[in-house]
């Protein structure tokens, strides 16, 4: 399969024409001489990452760290950033094991997914029996303290983990946090945004891979609601733990695409697939290709390195065997990533990405749009980036010639069509120099030609 660079993508129409005229035959792909040889490097070819869960207790194992250092460019602490680990006693925070993982990752230029700020499980004993306002405040304090401690070091936080119930209802899971009020999730997201405006904020869950499942639909409706009301959410994590009882669904790519169409990134956050040999390899191939086919599927994390490191070790669900040897599943993922090239494609919608920006000037700002367009509708996500000095407020002007805004998030708009002026909301007015914030809107018709421009205000 031909590996594509951004230059070669631009040349495709020309090459195709020449090929037709001169040899009248299909393009013959050159050998994959430059194929990447590690998962991280292969994923980077399309601007994605490939990560793993890491356990601090295994960092003394040189086989483990050898594979970690070589293969992965994103790291998630398997247990060390959870509530019980980071706040074992109320208001006494403990970051030793988490820091060992964070420091190792940062020293090697790897990025970090934070997991997880608020969860009904793995709570410290003192929190388990709390309720009402005391629990709500303790949870928000935890989110604020931990996200502040790691401010600037985390690519994406799983702000809330596993808050939806399994089964047919599609509603929330009962938990002490849920009993503090249905708005506990959005309160956690707002606290996380205030504490670390640079981190992407994700909702993360399992059994949300099959588009037809009520739980998937429930999470989808929550994200849609958050987007429409300006609750700061940037991404949805699909844990994607698969086995024979819970196989990779045939509509997996549809699920990824439909979440992405809400204007959020999608990440596969805890991938493992029980099995062995070619059937396991082909399932890994399907999952990898599904992510590559969705523009906003920004990366994949496997939940451990060797089979023996897995929480489901008996199911041999990972990419390396207990001795650290690459399995068939490893090769299928690497090949799929190498085949993916830089230009993700979409089968269910017409997706285009347009980027325009204006000159920031001294202390100004730039605006860039990522447009997800399908037949009759669109989602536009606009990234506002501060210039050489911090923003205290910003305004973005867009042009909608053939479309109408139906809802927006994280900004106030002046109208629904023609020239629309957007201004910051309270929580994203302040943007440090060189850093970014995002807002967005969805609409009917076409979002083409938005041509955003930004001014500091
Ligand atoms: O560290 C102690 C050890 O000192 C003690 O002797 C031993 C006795 O049971 O327990 C050890 O702690 C275990 C810990 O993993 C570290 O190995 C806990 O019992 C065990 O419950 C814990 O399991 C973790 C599980 O989350 C807890 O819910 C798994 O490692 C971890 O992989 C798993 O990760 C979760 C994600 O966070 C969310 N999605 C599902 C995923 C798999 O369950």
E-strand stretches of 257-330:
265-273, 297-302
Distance CA 80, CA 95 (A): 8
Contact between residue 420 and residue 400 where contact means Cβ atoms under 8 Å apart: yes
CA of 53, closest atom in ligand 1: 32
- Cβ burial of 438 (10 Å; 0-12, 13-18, 19+) is buried
Q: Residue 357 pLDDT > 70, yes or no?
A: no
**Where do we find the tokens 């973005």?**
396
CA of 303, closest atom in ligand 1: 32
Q: Residue 4 pLDDT > 80, yes or no?
A: no
Judged by average pLDDT, the poorest of 115-119, 205-209, 364-368 is: 364-368
Q: Is the CB of 207 under 6 A from ligand 1?
A: no
Q: Is the CB of 270 under 6 A from ligand 1?
A: yes
Which tens digit of pLDDT belongs to each residue from 131-159? 999 999 999 999 999 999 999 999 999 99
CA of 304, closest atom in ligand 1: 32
SS3 content of the chain, % helix, strand, coil (to 5): 35, 25, 40
Distance CA 303, CA 321 (A): 14
E-strand stretches of 284-357:
297-302
Cα end-to-end distance, the chain, whole Å: 49
Q: Is the CB of 311 under 6 A from ligand 1?
A: yes
Query: Does the pTM exceed 0.95?
Result: no
**Where do we find the tokens 């509603």?**
171
What is the model's pLDDT at position 158?
Answer: 98
Q: Is the CB of 78 under 6 A from ligand 1?
A: yes
Q: Is the CB of 374 under 6 A from ligand 1?
A: no
Question: Which helix H or strand E contains 56, and what residues bound it?
Answer: none
Q: Whose CA is nearest to atom 43 of ligand 1?
A: 311
What is the model's pLDDT at position 427?
Answer: 61
Q: Whose CA is nearest to atom 13 of ligand 1?
A: 79
Tell me how far the alpha carbon of residue 43 lies from the centroid of ligand 1, in angstroms. Answer: 28
Beta bridge partners, 118, equal 160
What is the model's pLDDT at position 137?
Answer: 98
Tell me how far the alpha carbon of residue 79 lies from the centroid of ligand 1, in angstroms. Answer: 7
Tell me how far the alpha carbon of residue 84 lies from the centroid of ligand 1, in angstroms. Answer: 11
Tell me how far the alpha carbon of residue 330 lies from the centroid of ligand 1, in angstroms. Answer: 25
Residue 432: pLDDT band with limits 50, 70, 90: confident
Tell me how far the alpha carbon of residue 311 lies from the centroid of ligand 1, in angstroms. Answer: 7
CA dihedral sign of residues 188, 189, 195, 201: positive
Region 372-397: mean pLDDT is 83
Tell me how far the alpha carbon of residue 287 lies from the centroid of ligand 1, in angstroms. Answer: 25
DSSP character for 445?
A: E
Q: What is the set of active-site residues?
A: 162, 270
Distance CA 16, CA 20 (A): 6
Distance CA 59, CA 52 (A): 13
Contact between residue 450 and residue 380 where contact means Cβ atoms under 8 Å apart: yes
Which tens digit of pLDDT belongs to each residue from 399-419? 999 999 887 767 889 999 999
Q: Is the CB of 122 under 6 A from ligand 1?
A: yes
Q: Is the CB of 121 under 6 A from ligand 1?
A: yes
Q: Is the CB of 79 under 6 A from ligand 1?
A: yes
Backbone angles phi, psi at 190, to 5 degrees: -65, -40
Please state, rounded to an integer, the average pLDDT across all residues of the chain: 88
Region 328-337: mean pLDDT is 98
Higher model confidence: residue 304 or residue 381?
Answer: 304
- Cβ burial of 141 (10 Å; 0-12, 13-18, 19+) is middle
What is the model's pLDDT at position 380?
Answer: 83
Region 439-445: mean pLDDT is 81
What distances in angstroms separate CA 238 from CA 231, 244, 336, 384, one per listed residue?
A: 20, 18, 19, 27
Q: How many residues does the chain have?
A: 457
Q: Whose CA is nearest to atom 35 of ligand 1?
A: 78
């Amino acid at each position: 399969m031909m590996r594509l660079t951004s230059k070669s993508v631009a040349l495709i129409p020309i090459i195709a024409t020449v090929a037709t005229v001169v040899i009248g035959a299909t393009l013959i792909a050159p050998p994959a001489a430059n194929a990447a040889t590690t998962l991280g490097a292969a994923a980077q070819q399309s601007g994605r990452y490939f990560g793993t869960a890491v356990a601090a207790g295994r960092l003394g194992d040189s086989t483990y760290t050898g594979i970690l250092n070589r293969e992965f460019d994103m790291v998630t602490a398997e247990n060390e950033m959870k509530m019980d680990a980071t706040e074992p006693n109320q208001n006494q925070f403990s970051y030793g094991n988490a820091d060992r993982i964070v420091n190792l990752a940062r020293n090697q230029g790897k990025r970090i997914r934070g997991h997880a700020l608020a969860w009904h499980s793995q709570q410290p004993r003192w929190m388990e029996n709390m309720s009402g306002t005391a629990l709500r405040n303790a949870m928000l304090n935890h989110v604020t303290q931990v996200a502040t401690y790691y401010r600037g070091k985390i690519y994406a936080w799983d702000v809330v983990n596993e808050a939806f119930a399994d089964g047919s209802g599609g509603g929330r899971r009962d938990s002490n946090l849920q009993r503090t009020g249905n708005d506990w999730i959005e309160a956690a997201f707002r606290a996380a945004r205030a504490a670390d405006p640079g981190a992407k904020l994700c909702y993360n869950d399992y059994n949300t891979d099959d588009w037809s499942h009520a739980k998937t639909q429930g999470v989808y409706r929550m994200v849609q609601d958050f987007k429409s009301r300006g609750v700061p959410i940037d991404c949805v994590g699909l844990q994607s733990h698969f086995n024979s009882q819970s196989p990779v669904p045939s509509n997996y790519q549809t699920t990824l695409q439909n979440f992405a169409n809400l204007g959020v990134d999608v990440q596969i956050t805890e991938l493992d697939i029980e099995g062995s040999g070619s059937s396991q390899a082909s399932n890994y191939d399907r999952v990898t290709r599904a992510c590559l086919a969705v523009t906003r599927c920004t990366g994949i994390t496997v939940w451990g390195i060797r089979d023996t490191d897995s929480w489901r070790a008996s199911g041999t669900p990972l990419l390396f065997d207990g001795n650290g040897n690459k399995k068939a599943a490893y090769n299928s993922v690497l090949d799929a990533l190498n085949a993916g090239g830089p230009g993700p494609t979409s089968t269910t919608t017409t997706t285009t990405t347009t980027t325009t920006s204006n000159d920031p000037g001294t202390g100004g700002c730039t605006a860039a749009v990522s447009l997800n367009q399908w037949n009759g509708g669109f989602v536009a996500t606009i990234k506002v980036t501060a210039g050489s000095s911090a923003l205290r407020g910003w305004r973005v002007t867009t042009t909608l010639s053939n479309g109408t805004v139906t809802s927006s998030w994280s900004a106030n708009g002046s109208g629904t069509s023609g020239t629309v002026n957007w201004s910051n909301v309270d929580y994203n007015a302040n943007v440090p120099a060189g850093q970014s914030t995002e807002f967005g809107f969805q609409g009917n018709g076409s979002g083409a030609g938005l041509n955003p421009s930004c001014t500091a205000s």
